[in-house]
Amino acid sequence: MPLPEQLASVAREYAAGTRQAAEPRDAATVVLQRPGPDGAPEVYLLRRHVTMDFAGGMCVFPGGGVDPRDYDHEVAWAGPTPAEWAARLGTTEDVARALVCAAVRETFEESGVLLAGTSADDVVADTTGDDWEADRVALESRELSLTDFLTRRGLVLRTDLLGIWSGWLTPVFEPKRYRTWFFVAQLPEGQVTRDVSTESSEVVWLPAAEAADQADRGELAMLPPTYLTCLEIGTLGAVDGVDGVLAASAERSVTMFMPEVEPLGDGFTLSMPDELRPLVAARRA
């Protein structure tokens, strides 16, 4: 993906020391999947409003920044412990707890899907009622914390329904930066996604491979991490399905990657993790 000259120019200013990098904010995003007709994973994408000051007009996965209340130690919890998550996310236990809570909270806020149940062995089957929508709106507006929401409904966070996929740090020259952990999850049986996000203009389920294809054709606008994630999951899922993606996530841990400017023909592009270069090269062959 060629880097616009305006961004390349800003990047050169940072490299020359004439600009100061913004402090990144911790964030979580969730690649919500379901099996398509052929068994390959479909992913849930939101197109952000073009007026948004970060990734305006881009197709993204549900997610957002960590809220201070996501650090609450009293949150009802089932599945891998914060210590286990910390080892895989490369963070402290407090940050790991907050990231997992943010992943679940943001997924509910932006898709209506809730990764929680009355015990460690079940998951909520339907969140489409008016009472659920009222709670979702209260969470989104920060009138209600995730801990209070779960406690009031007698639910526990099903952290075992999440897997970890990757970690991306916004390039140093961007004015607004995030340190984002990418999680994966399967749409729970009985639940449905809904177009509820106030930050998106439309939502869609697409086969992960088709989403990457549409981005290549210029039909979808995506930031590089979203595109590369769709490409990787689409390639793996074509053979192993959603179960294969989740199984692969169980073997992963996060090393945060920050794209840097590198030459591309007569211009510039952003670097990518070395393990993803063969996938991209195969598409360009």
Tens-digit pLDDT profile for residues 140-158: 999 999 999 999 999 999 9
Domain boundaries, the chain: 2-284
When pLDDT is averaged across residues 195-212 and rounded to a whole number, the result is: 81
Is residue 154 within 8 Å of 73, Cβ to Cβ? no
Instruction: Write 6-10 long-range contacts (CB < 8 A, 24+).
Output: 7/173, 8/261, 8/267, 8/268, 10/173
Q: What SS3 state is found at 195?
A: coil
The pTM of the full predicted model, rounded to 2 decimals, is: 0.92
When pLDDT is averaged across residues 236-241 and rounded to a whole number, the result is: 92
- Counting residues of the chain whose pLDDT is more than 70, the rounded percentage is 91
Whether residue 129 is predicted with pLDDT greater than 90 in this model: the reply is yes
Predicted local confidence at residue 66, as pLDDT = 97
CATH of domain 2-284: 3.90.79.10
Is residue 69 within 8 Å of 145, Cβ to Cβ? yes
Whether residue 49 is predicted with pLDDT greater than 60 in this model: the reply is no
When pLDDT is averaged across residues 61-89 and rounded to a whole number, the result is: 96
CA-CA distances (angstroms) from residue 271 to 83, 176, 257, 263?
Answer: 32, 19, 10, 9
Is residue 250 within 8 Å of 163, Cβ to Cβ? yes
